[in-house]
Structure 1
Amino acid sequence: MERRRGGGDHGENYTNPFDGEDQVSSADEKEEIVVEEAFKDTKVPSWGKQITFRAMLTSLVLSIVFNFIVCKLNLTTGVIPSLNVAAGLLGFAILRFWTSLLGKAGFLKQPFTRQENTVVQTCVVASSGIAFSSGTASYLLGMTPKIANQSEGGNTPSNMKELHLGWMIGFLFAVSFVGLFSIVPLRKLMILKYKLTYPSGTATAYLINSFHTPKGAKLAKKQVSVLFKYFAGSFLWAGFQWFWTAADGCGFSSFPTFGPQAFARRFYFDFSATYVGVGMICPYMVNISLLLGAILSWGILWPIIETKKGDWYSADEKPSSLHGIQGYRVFMAIATMLGDGLFHVIFMLSKTIISLIINIKKKESEVPGSGDENSKLVKYDEKRRTEFFLKDQIPTWVAGGGYILLAIISIIAVPYIFPQLKWYHILVAYVIAPVLAFCNAYGCGLTDWSLASNYGKFAIIIFSAWVGLPDGGIIAGLASCGVMMSIVSTASDLMQDFKTGYLTLSSPRSMFFSQVLGTAMGCVLTPLVFWIFYQAYPVGEEGSAYPAPYGGVYRGIAMLGTEGVSSLPKNCLKLSIIFFIAAMVINLVTELLRKYETKYRIHRFIPSPMCLAIPFYLGGYFAIDMCVGSLILFLWELSNKQKASDFGPAVASGLICGESLWGIPAAILALSGVNPPMCIKFLTAAANDKVEGFLSG
């Protein structure tokens, strides 16, 4: 899925339930009218004082926490919710506690402001965003011999690369900052002239603004209390579960909820607090789409294809071989994702062009508005925000020079790390990238969709085909994915932050530098955190607690680019084409209904093709967890909608943070050679009789 930052692909990241047009409700508009009146007497610190030492220290701590969370989610199912609410809440809680202590001790020199809160949130999301664009669980992992040997295709030395901390950190530093400079000159055009919504950036700004009003601060304290309560419960539950997992197949995560046959088809509830929390944040239709995808694939398609063993594919193929049943799982999922991605790229480019034309015509024919009281307040807000947004300029020559300089460094460094990519490949990518970055940032402002992973997938196909299999086309394609994704993703992220800064009177300079600092943190933290998991667990292996499904998927896309369709099992191409077309048709129908039917809003009930594809590889266990989260939220909303709205995201964030952070002590114990002391297994009566007979014999 595509990454939506605020409401919420890397694995593939999706959480926002609405389109941009739906998110800006009348309630939001009323809030916007009066917000700057409430802060009229509050002094706005200079941009240098918005980036404080305490803000950076808080950002570093939260970045470590959030990198562990995102890394674990990447390595399990790849479905990542928005953590913006948790970042904003925790940043508020830590800095409020810090400044309260300093105030009581008489050492408080600068009060805690919404601008400082915005800096922390921006820095943390930028850092954890590198976990999205770094590819540690997708394109980088797809380079490894472990994933290559599973595919049994293109596993020559030039098409494999062992992972090492040094070059991973160096690669991220070489490619992750270029995108920040590509979009800076367009900030006034997008924020002030075209007034793009950026729903995630706007929602984040409203959240932070509300925290710093008396009523909002009171609610925020309650939300933080709830978050930590569920964090503690989730952490302890994860520790209790670990105690019973001494061997493979042990523990509550292997409980055959719906019986042994359903368990063999990967339909069971695995007691994961993380994915119950993810399900509470993700929209209902995302979770239902995941479950439908699991039923379609593991309940219908794969059992039918398995009856063709010996005809469609060799009966001697290993379960993990892409020439066997796994080939159908991977390539049909890839086809669905590419169909979904191609549709959205074309749709977003068309929408961007049409919107630009409309905006230009609108500006030419614009007449002054009425002078009612609301208009005056809006104009006061707009005037004040525009004043601070234009106050600290980032010169165009700095942005242009920074882009050229960093591009030159990347053109030199990346071929050194990946000899399969030549300097002219990188040059072509950096010539194309600013256009794609603009389209992605503009489209994100309209709809909240970031299509970075789609651009990355298409880069894989183009560059792997360009280089060719004998010259290391698989590695070249996967590395080019990283180059493209980093630019396009960070560009849209930065523009979201500019929108947040505009609405909270945070300086564009403080937004830019906090994004730079957060990116730098992510370039170091993401590989380090991934490395802990990579050394402690069998990452990327089928049946592992961390199967990292997108490693095989992204390598499969690169193989398609280099080998074409000749390597696919019998009838796999036909089925893949059907799913590719079906994904585009489903999206087309959804958009047509969204545009032309207004009464029943049937488009809300059409499943997402990207969500349908994710369980093709993994099964339905995590979809069941997420549907349980949806059910909890649904019942809560029936009981008390306001409380569910106020505290639902805090409960979900606590569940996600607690179990995910258990990964730190669990990894340390694994690296130290300390294993869980007990094993609990669930057997059928027949299997139990056999075990007892064996033991008694």
Structure 2
Amino acid sequence: MPLQRLRRAWRRLFSAYHPEDSLAEFTLPAVTLGLLIGSLLCFTNLYFGLQTGFISMMSLQSALIGFLISKMLPTPLSPQEIIVVQTTAVATATMPLAAGFVGILPALGLINEERDGQPPIHLSWISGIGWSLAVAFFGVFLSPPLRKQAIIEEKLAFPSGTATAQLISVLHDMPAATTTDVRQRRGYQTIEDEEHAEPLLQDSDTTPLRSTPRGSDPDGPSVKQTGWHELIWSFLVSAIMTLAAYFFPIVVAIPLFGNYLAREWAWTFTPSLSYVGQGIIMGFPTTLSMNLGMFLGWGILSPISKYAGWAPGPVGDMTTGARGWILWVSLAIMCADSLVSLTPLVFETLVDVIRRKAGYRGDDSSTKKEDNEVETEDRLVPYRWVYMGWAVSVVVGTFLVWIVFGHEGIKPWATILGYILGGLLSVLAVRALGETDINPVSGLGKISQLFFAWIQPGNIVANIIAGGVAEAGAQQAGDLMQDLKTGHLCRASPRAQFFGQLIGSSFSILVTTSAYSLYTRAYPIPGPSFPAPTAYVWLSFARLLRDGQLPEKSGLFMVIFAISFGLLASVKTYAARHQLWWAKWIPSGVAFAIGFLNTPSFSIARLIGGILEYVFRTRYARDDSDIRLIIVASGFVLGEGVTSVISLVLRTFGIGAVSCWGCGHGMCGGCGA
């Protein structure tokens, strides 16, 4: 049989790298399934990322879909193979953010020659491949040593990784992934940044899961009652809604308070099931914070800036309009929230380094630390691979960045510093993610931009590129750590996950670059259909660092809101660290700021999802492991993301809307508004 020959060839290929059975879960079906799922999620993430800046790890969804598909195979996958599926899929799915396709590259395309002294940069397909290769791997090589410190020694929680392990235990009828049933705050799902978390089922200690032999059929009741049925109907409903919106654009641009407010003030409603699904995944506290920001930004500050003459242009204009004016307030909130949240982590990291250094100088017999590693050497990633791989990725990446952008774009020595800074920021990203389930890459990105504004002043391109290089490592290492936490709890081989990460990242280079090229051919980016809001954040901050000029009166409001949310973030951080139940109800500064960046249409749909999540969790969920709503939300998100590919093909061939009825408010992107 061809499939059997492929499997034998696969085993022979990797037999040189590990003894027999040391990587039993690293199988051809697991990796192939992970690549297929990850490719679909990659398109989905690119689609939503260009629309709202929202990117999801999709760890839970990858594990769930992988499990459901594996049940149709002659031999179902084991829990450890499902983890390889999930790890490979996540590495494939998150490349749009890791390589900056939703922020960095659109920002380079917004550069204005008259204002910035150089023309905009639009990468070709081959240049996009080169740039992706430059940043795709060095974060992966950082993950093994960070795993040793954060997961094995410090035993950080990584709530999303723990939640995925809990889901796998439910699906395979295994002992629970936790021994502590502590209700935590709902996890976030992020914008360009921020919170790559899944819905949190339970908090966790690090009690490992026992595995189930491959080939067994341990379906629990929840899987039999949910599974494919809920996933398929929610997928189909969302897909039909997406196609209807393409042919009849008014479906996703409903004027909330009449055509005037829709046309002049962007108050429309998008009844997108995918955004409802995102709201379910994000949870009610986060969506509530986002909508409070939306109300303040678009309902109060936007009219004030317009009528006061501070933002005289059209409200939706990012340069002279209210949307561009409130962007600065949003940026101040993000920076203040990230700075306050990171401060205790930086302090603890420095104290830990000092203590370790002092201990090393002391008596070896009294300071020798017990090794808590539970895996054997043949299942771990050798450190020589890490050192060699990281060095090669930096050298090759620096060369590729120089080839793609040229010597005038960024100096090679600045790119190398970007990689080094990315490695340092990765430590903070992993610590923050492990403790709070938030990967603060937005704040870390601003730190990198500040650094490069100092070492290479006045160069907008260098600031954005080098900042993107540093951010890529922090984002990728943090996200992959969630997968490694899941693998640790479920006793999956770290080496198998490492291989899955490398393969997923490699394959995603082609998928992401090709998808982005298709989108840029069919739509203007940024444009009405894909505004790419985080691109303006990157470019605006780079210009601020160069010019020091702000829109009229925006500086005053930035200071007021930065101080306010700095204080709020300190209270939230204190409450979260002491595990106080009310911590989750303190508004998140990052989520609040996202409400400024996105038009009301997206935030309102997410709030509906958040409310559904809250009602289900408090009234209808059987217990903390009830995954029915998670499956429905996954179907909603995947339905629109996958069907968007069909819309992209239709647009490429010149097939547009059937009717523009009701689009008199001018907010229907599909009608050329």
**SS of the counterpart of 2:100?**
coil
- Alpha-carbon deviation of 1:639? 4.2
Sort the Cα spacing of 1:325 and 1:61 in 2 relative to 1 into closer, same or farther, 3 A: same
- Name the structure 1 match of 2:241: 237
Please list every run of 5 or more consecutive structure 2 residues that lacks an aligned counterpart in the other structure.
Answer: 1-18, 174-216, 363-370, 667-673
> Aligned with 1:79: secondary structure?
coil
Q: Which residue does 2:488 correspond to in 1?
A: 502
* Counterpart residue type for residue 588 of structure 2: S
Q: In structure 1, the residue corresponding to 2:111 is in which secondary structure? A: helix
Q: Output the amino acid matched with 1:256.
A: P
Letter in 1 for 2:277: G
What residue is the counterpart of 1:91 in the other structure?
66
The 5 A counterparts of 1:169-208 are: 169-208=129-168
- What residue in structure 2 maps to residue 582 of structure 1? 564
Deviations 1:595-625 (A, max 9, x none): 5694xx4333221121222232332111111
1:398 aligns to 2:379 (yes or no): no
* TM-score normalised by the chain length of structure 1: 0.79
Residues 285, 610 of structure 2: 8 Å contact kept: no
Q: What is the match of residue 552 of structure 2?
A: 570
Q: Residue 504 of structure 2: which of 506, 514, 518 is its match?
A: 518
Q: Contact 1:415–1:422 at 8 Å: present in 2 too? A: yes
- Residue 157 (structure 1) aligns with: 118
Query: Which one of 92, 95, 99 corresponds to residue 127 of structure 1?
Result: 92
Partner of 2:542: 558
Partner in structure 1 of residue 638 of structure 2? 657
- CA displacement, residues 141-198 of structure 1 (integer Å, 9 cap, x when unaligned): 1000xx235xx8734325x211222111111111221122234234333333332222
Offset of residue 516 of structure 1 = 0.6
Work out whether 1:166 is the aligned partner of 2:126: yes
- 1:316–1:640 distance in 2 versus 1, CA, 3 Å: closer
CA distance in 2, matches of 1:319, 1:70: 24
* Match of residue 672 from structure 1: 653
Q: Distance in 2 between matches of 1:243 and 1:162?
A: 30
Aligned 8 A contact 2:422 2:469 in 1: no
Offset of residue 279 of structure 1: 0.8
CA contact (8 A) 1:468 1:562 kept: yes
* 8 A Cα contact 1:76 1:547, kept in partner: yes
Checking the alignment, whether the CA contact within 8 Å between 1:277 and 1:656 is kept in structure 2 is: yes
Greater CA drift, 634-643 or 332-341: 634-643
Contact residue 183 and residue 434 of structure 1 kept, 8 A: no
Q: Of 399, 419, 424, which aligns to 1:412?
A: 399
Match of 1:631 in 2: 611
The match for 1:449 is 438
2-structure distance, mates of 1:89, 1:324 = 43
Q: Does 1:346 align with 2:343?
A: yes
The correspondence of residues 335-374 of structure 1 with structure 2, limited to 5 A, is 335-353=332-350
Q: Which residue does 2:171 correspond to in 1?
A: 211
- Matching of residue 142 in structure 1 with residue 107 in structure 2: yes
- The residue number in structure 2 matching 1:274 is 274
Which one-letter code corresponds to 2:452 in the other structure? F
Instruction: Please tell me whether the aligned partners of residues 244 and 251 of structure 2 are also in contact (alpha carbons under 8 angstroms).
Output: no
Is the 1:47–1:509 Cα contact (8 Å) retained in structure 2? no
State the match for 2:208 in structure 1. Answer: none
Query: Which letter maps to 2:504?
Result: G
Of all paired residues, the percent bearing the same amino acid is 26
- Aligned partners of 2:571 and 2:315: how far apart in 1? 39
Contact 2:265 2:315 in 1 (8 A): no
Structure 1 counterpart of 2:30:
55
Matched, 1:463 2:461: no
Structure 1 residue 589: Cα displacement: 2.1
Q: For residues 377-418 of structure 1, give each alpha carbon's deviation from its aligned partner in whole angstroms, at most 9, with x where no partner exists.
A: xxxxxx9x9554544232222211221122111222212222
CA contact (8 A) 2:116 2:460 kept: no
1:530 counterpart = 2:516:
yes
Instruction: Tell whether the 8 Å contact from 1:437 to 1:492 is kept in structure 2 after alignment.
Output: yes
Aligned position for 2:533:
549
Distance between the aligned counterparts of 2:85 and 2:595, measured in 1? 35
How far is the alpha carbon of 1:323 from its aligned partner?
Answer: 4.5
Task: Note if contact 1:118-1:501 (Cα within 8 Å) is conserved in structure 2.
Answer: yes
Mapped contact 1:443–1:450 kept (Cα < 8 A): yes
Give 3-state SS (helix, strand or coil) of 1:80's partner.
coil
Q: Which stretch shifts more, 387-396 or 524-533?
A: 387-396
Secondary structure at 1:157's aligned position in 2? Answer: coil
**Measured at CA, do residues 396 and 533 of structure 1 come closer, stay the same or move farther in structure 2, by a change above 3 Å?**
same
Q: Secondary structure in 2 aligned to 1:678?
A: coil
2:184: which partner in 1?
none
Equivalent residue letter for 1:412: F
Residues 604-656 of structure 1, C-alpha deviation per residue, up to 9 Å, x if partnerless? Answer: 32211212222323321111111111222333345422289321111111111
Q: Within 1, Cα distance between the matches of 2:296 and 2:516?
A: 32
Distance 1:490 1:593, change over 3 A: closer
Q: Partners in 1 of 2:555 and 2:273 — Cα distance?
A: 38
* Match of residue 207 from structure 2: none
Q: Which letter does structure 2 place at the counterpart of 1:350?
A: F
Query: What's the counterpart of residue 412 of structure 2?
Result: 423
Distance in structure 2 (CA, Å) of the matches to 1:66 and 1:642: 29
Residue 429 and residue 95 in structure 1: after superposition, are their counterparts in 2 closer, same or farther (change >3 A)?
A: same
Task: Give the TM-score taking structure 2 as reference length.
Answer: 0.81
RMSD: 3.0
Partner SS for 1:148: coil
